[in-house]
Structures are given as C-alpha cells and as structure tokens.
Structure 1
C-alpha cells in the first residue's frame, strides 16, 4: 500500500475490497483497528484474489469459446484482407465491432487466413474481458 503523509493510504485497499463486494462498514471497521502491516497483508490478499478471479475468468472464457487452435495477431499478414470502405485495421483489432454488437463475415479462398483472423480476434476479446 502507498504511504501518504506518514500513514498508509487505504484507497487501493478500499477499491479492491469493494470490487469483492465487501461492505463499506466492514472495510471502515477493519481500517480502524488494523496495523499498517496488517493492512498491507490484507491488501496483498485482496489483490491476489482479484488476480486469481481474473485468470479463472479468462480460462473459463477460453474453454467456452472452444477455439480450434490458439492464434494471435502477432505477425498476421493483413495484405490479403480487404475491409469495408471507411473501416480500418485499427478498428478491427480494437474490437469496435464487438462493442457495437456487429457481426463480421469473412469470406475468400482456402488458406487466406480467415480462421486465423477470427480465432485471433476471439482470443483478443477474451484477453480484454
């Protein structure tokens, strides 16, 4: 936890505890009696729990997606990809279509990277939650 004016700053601990649905009353009471070392231990425990939950969520989403083989956009050759007029590669890789609940349709000859692109975008969406 951060030191602020010689005292431990409870801000990050409060945020983590609230994101785990711990009541404000419980947080306030704990902050009253806990020593700075105890607060550091509690904060570390909450941060670890949040990280573990996020990792579990991503693993669950990967299982649910049933992607054929993990792929990424690193090194993907966009030379054979034609996007609609006014639509950029950055919009595609930024997952703008997902935020707008739009569908994508990939079509073309065999071996052009349609499945690779779809899988990589799916994995990117999972990574971003």
Structure 2
C-alpha cells in the first residue's frame, strides 16, 4: 500500500478500515468516487464518535431496549416508553428517577437510555453512587471540588446508579 495513503489516512483520522475499502469502491466518474470516499469517511467518523461516547460513558455493561421487558414498569401518565427511549427528558433538562426493588431492571433501563443518548451524539456519564461519592471526596481533599463539579456539567446525561445500596460515610453523604 502507498505510504502516502497511510500517512494521510492517519492525519485525517480515517482508520485502517478505510484503507481496506478505498480500492473496492465501484465508480464511473471521479466525482462519484470522491462522493463515495467522503461518504465512507463520514460513516467511519460517526461510528468512531459513537464508540468514543460509549467508552467515555463508562457503562458497566452495555444494555439496550431490544431485550428490556417493559411489562413490569409503571410510568406516570406524563411520560411513556417512547419518551424514555428517545430521552426527551434529557433534551428538556429534566430529571428521571427510577426506583423499585432490587432486580427490577432499573440499571438496565438507565443504561439503555444512556446508550441511546450516546448513539444520538449526547455526552453521557454513568456512575455508581458510591464511586461518584468517592471521586467527590477525593476532589474535595485535593481542593479540586469546584473543577470536578464543573467537569460534570459537560455531560448531557448523568446517570447515578445504586442509590441507597451502600451506606455512605458522613463526609460522602454531605
């Protein structure tokens, strides 16, 4: 393979997969070839952006709505399944609290909402509350609490899981 192509591909952040495809593109005109090259490049960037957002979210396990059982979930009259799946509450900057007994799918539902948000290009962060509290304490002890709190504001959706499962020390609860 041409070394210049490899170099340019790296500089444009197109990835190895792009180079594997470029010579297999059927075309009849130069414009058609460029159009298809740009289309492939944009698709790779979308895929990479989605994967980056999913990784940054730090989900324990990726879950989707495909295998979620909504039959056991009671929704208020003001919000339905479609609203949850399309995370409209996030767009309106509203909170959503999922509560219920252990094993009822709260984490699955919260993760699926977060995954959908990532796929839509939203910045998401998933925390178990105990881990979030530990990070808050650590930031406080390093006199970096304000900076840490500011870093949380960059997310479109902050998911806090396992509220109340682990008792928090006094400092953390504050």
- Normalising by structure 1, we get a TM-score of 0.68
User: Could you say which residue in structure 2 is the equivalent of 1:128?
Assistant: 120
C-alpha displacement of 1:49: 1.1
Say whether residues 1:89 and 2:81 are aligned partners: yes
How big is each residue's C-alpha offset from its partner over 1:11-56, in whole Å with a ceiling of 9 and x where there is no partner? xxxxxxxxxxxxxxxxxxxxxxxxx711011111111111111011
Say whether residues 1:116 and 2:108 are aligned partners: yes
User: Could you say which residue in structure 2 is the equivalent of 1:104?
Assistant: 96
RMSD: 1.3
Q: In 2, distance between residues paired with 1:94 and 1:56? A: 21
Q: Which runs of 4+ in 1 moved over 3 A?
A: none
Say whether residues 1:52 and 2:48 are aligned partners: no
Say whether residues 1:72 and 2:64 are aligned partners: yes
SS of 2:61's partner is coil
Unaligned runs of 5+ in 2: 1-27, 122-174
Higher relative contact order (CA 8 A, sep 6+): 1
Unaligned runs of 5+ in 1: 1-35
Tell me the number of residue pairs that the alignment of Structure 1 and Structure 2 aligns: 94
Q: In 2, distance between residues paired with 1:86 and 1:103? A: 13
C-alpha displacement of 1:87: 1.5
How big is each residue's C-alpha offset from its partner over 1:68-92, in whole Å with a ceiling of 9 and x where there is no partner? 1011111311122122222211111
